[in-house]
Amino acid sequence: MSAEKLIRGKVAVVTGASRGIGFAIARRLGQMGARVSICGRDAAKLEESAATLRSDGIEIIAAVADVAREDQILSFVQKAQNDFGPIDILVNNAGIGLFGPFHECSEADWDRVMDTNLKSVFLMSRAVVPEMIRRQTGHIINISSLAGKNTFSNGAIYCASKWGLMGFSGSMAEDLRSYGIRVSAICPGSVATEFSGQSKKDPDKALQADDIAHAVAALVTQSAGSFISEVHIRPTRKP
């Protein structure tokens, strides 16, 4: 059986998918035959992205949702399940970056980054896991960062959120593996996408969003008897 056939007809949810890495992941999974539900906070951009995916023949649902809000997450998940069926694949991609010396950041900055990068993964995963447990199958992929393995100046809050995500992902995997649910974390290096607080990257010395989508495709087509818990992706040429 080809890798693509392994997920044909499966239901996938991708957060933060109106642009960048999330959009590339949604497109890749859709091209492989998955039925994809995406969410984002920018209604106009989200609909534009959904229209592009539909023009490629991808079955798509798009819903405006703030992944830091439990009520909006539950509504989004319910819509995906009602329209497409039980969720097989969850990609927690939504994330933001706020950078600067930690002592110059505000409490609101801390809350915004932690809510989007870490709390959202808890809320989204908790919303889909009961049905995955009932069906004894599922794959959850958390898009982290090499900043979850390393530290750098002006990145204290961002690094804290991603280090937390790595710890959370590892514990999630242990909690869920006995139910046949696989949890993986992908840690990209520098990616040539729009990302708040970061300067423009040299595209010749950065990863592309499709590189992350390729890793997601590899994870979800792995044989059921094993899973890759952590993937590091770096550009060949150092930025």
Exposure string for 74-87, b = 16+ CB within 10 A, e = fewer: ebbbebbbeebeeb
Residue 12: inside a domain: yes
Q: What percent of the chain has pLDDT over 90?
A: 88
Answer yes or no: 179 catalytic.
Answer: no
Indicate whether 178 pLDDT > 60: yes
Mean per-residue pLDDT of the chain: 94
Residue 238 falls inside a structural domain = no
The CATH code of the domain that includes 60 is 3.40.50.720
Report the SS3 class of residue 41: coil
Residues facing 44 on adjacent strands: none
**What is the band of 205 on the pLDDT scale with cuts at 50, 70, 90?**
confident
Number of H helices, E strands in the chain: 7, 7
Please indicate whether residue 194 or residue 114 has the higher confidence score (pLDDT): 114
- Residue 90's domain comprises 4-233
Please report the pLDDT score of residue 3 as a whole number: 57
Q: Is residue 84 part of a domain?
A: yes
Q: How confident is the model at residue 237 (pLDDT cuts 50, 70, 90)?
A: confident
100-142: pLDDT as tens digits: 999 999 999 999 999 999 999 999 999 999 999 999 999 999 9
239 belongs to a structural domain: no
Of the listed 76, 84, 99, 158, which one is catalytic? Answer: 158
Residue 13 lies in a domain: yes
Please give the tally of structural domains in the chain: 1
Q: Is residue 162 part of a domain?
A: yes
pLDDT of residue 198: 52
Q: Report yes or no on 76 lying in a domain.
A: yes
Decide if 115 is inside a domain. Answer: yes
pLDDT band at 14 (very low <50, low <70, confident <90, very high): very high
Three-state SS for 80? helix
Residue 178: DSSP 8-state = G
pLDDT band at 196 (very low <50, low <70, confident <90, very high): very low
Residue 60 has pLDDT above 90, yes or no: yes
